[in-house]
Structure 1
C-alpha cells in the first residue's frame, strides 16, 4: 500500500509525514510526499527535527504531485485549511483523508519559537501516523469504508506538546 502525504509546498509537513511514516511502517507500506506547488527544497528545520528523532533524511526532496514514483492507494492532505490555506485536491480514484496541521514554515518569531512550531507539527503528525499504523491494517485493507472512517477519526488526534 502506498500512502501519499500531500500539501502545497512539499517542504515541511508532508516531508515530515513521509519520513516518519517510512521510519515506522511495516513491510508492504510505503509513503511518498508531494506538493501542488512545490517549493523545490526541503525546509532545513524539517530535516533538523527528523535528524534529532533519528529518522533518516536521505533522498527526501520537494517534488510535484505530477512526478510521483508510484500510484497512491491513500492520499492524506496535511494543509491547515482551517487557517485559510488552500489544500490541493488530488484527482484520482483513491481513498482520501485530511489531517490538517499548521504550516511551521509560516511562523515568525525567535529561533526557539520557530523551532517549537516545527516540533509541534512533527509531534502531531507522528501521533497520527502511530495511530494509523496501530490499526489492524491487513483487516482494513479489505474494508475500505472502515479504513476511511478510521483515517477521518485520526485527523482529530492532537497530542499535548
Structure 2
C-alpha cells in the first residue's frame, strides 16, 4: 500500500508572499509526503518580486508560481485538503469557503514582509522564510498517523505561536 500524500493549503489575503513561501517550502521539505498549494481571498495577481528573488537565491524553482484565489480550490475538481494554514492575520479573520474533507486548520501568522519599507524588504522576506521553515519543520516532525484530531489541532496551534507569531485581527496574544 502506498503511503498517504497529504494536501496542504497556505492561505493569505494577497497570495503574493508568505503563502507562496509556505507552498514552496512545504513542497521541498515534505519529501513527496506532502503536496502544498497556496491561495488568497483577494489575490494580488502577481507573486511579489522579493519572494521570487529570495526563493531563487536559495535554489528553489519559481517557474509556475502564481497568485491565485482560494475560489480555485473550492471547485469540485480541486484537491481535498488535509491541512490548511493561514499565514496572515487578515485571512485568519475572514470567512473561508467550506472545505471538503474537513481539513485540520491552524493560524501561523507572520508579519507581512511586503509591508516593510523597500530598503528593509529583503531582510523581512528572509525573516518570514525563516519562521515558515521552522514551523514547517516542526509540523513535518509530528507523528501524523498517531495523533487524534484534538491533539493535532493543539500541536498545530502551538507551532503557530512560535517565534515571529502574530495574532489574528481581533485576537489577543
35-44 or 61-70, which deviates more: 61-70
TM-score where L is the length of structure 1: 0.87
Q: Which runs of 4+ in 1 moved over 4 A?
A: none
Structure 2: tracts of 5 or more residues without a match: 1-5, 165-173
- Does the alignment pair 1:90 with 2:96? yes
CA offsets, 1:57-91, max 9 Å, x none? Answer: 12211000011241222110000x3xxx4533323
Aligned residues: 151
- Does the alignment pair 1:32 with 2:11? no
Alignment RMSD, CA only?
1.6
- Does the alignment pair 1:104 with 2:113? yes
Which residue of structure 2 lines up, in the alignment, with residue 128 of structure 1? Answer: 135
What is the DSSP-based 3-state SS (H/G/I as helix, E as strand, rest coil) of the residue aligned with 1:100? coil
Which residue of structure 1 lines up, in the alignment, with residue 60 of structure 2? Answer: 55
Match of 2:28 among 23, 30, 40: 23
Structure 1: tracts of 5 or more residues without a match: none
Match of 2:50 among 45, 54, 58: 45
Which residue of structure 2 lines up, in the alignment, with residue 5 of structure 1? Answer: 10
TM-score where L is the length of structure 2: 0.81
Which residue of structure 1 lines up, in the alignment, with residue 168 of structure 2? Answer: none
In 2, the alpha carbon distance for the partners of 1:89 and 1:51 equals: 33
- Does the alignment pair 1:138 with 2:145? yes
Deviation at 1:130, TM superposition (A): 0.6
Which residue of structure 1 lines up, in the alignment, with residue 126 of structure 2? Answer: 119
In 2, the alpha carbon distance for the partners of 1:76 and 1:53 equals: 23
In 2, the alpha carbon distance for the partners of 1:13 and 1:120 equals: 11
